[in-house]
Amino acid sequence: MEDRRGEWVVLQVSGEMDLVTSPAVRQHIHDAVAEGRHWLVLDLSEVRFCDSSGVGVLIAARRLMRSCSGRLRLILPPQDAAHGSHVHRVLAALGVRRLFDVYPDLGAATELDGDDEEAAADPLSA
């Protein structure tokens, strides 16, 4: 479920993000932050279903990462993709899709841009 790509912690989520599974996803996010990992990619490309508790985890993760000057990126297939587009539709329907930095694949999500390179050069202080 967890992988590391340079500065990024990648959490692979598959199946459903619902009332039963969302607490485990939330715990993995909190564990990564507790370990000092503040750049997080959530790979949701294999999530078939997401309810309000799953969306709540995503919004809480965004808030947590912002509070520690971290970064959160989501991997979601394009909206028109047959496989994995459910999360895209749910986020768009709730009007929260714009809150997230969304990428089509792991390579794009973990690529450093100018802002990331500056942040990587300046370690976060407690």
Contact 48, 85 (CB under 8 A): no
Segments of the chain assigned E as strands: 2-5, 8-17, 39-50, 71-75, 101-103
Average pLDDT rounded to a whole number, residues 112-116 = 63
Q: What confidence category does residue 35 fall into, taking pLDDT thresholds of 50, 70 and 90?
A: very high
Report the pLDDT value the prediction gives residue 63, as an integer from 0 to 100.
97
**pLDDT value of position 86:** 82
pTM over 0.85: no
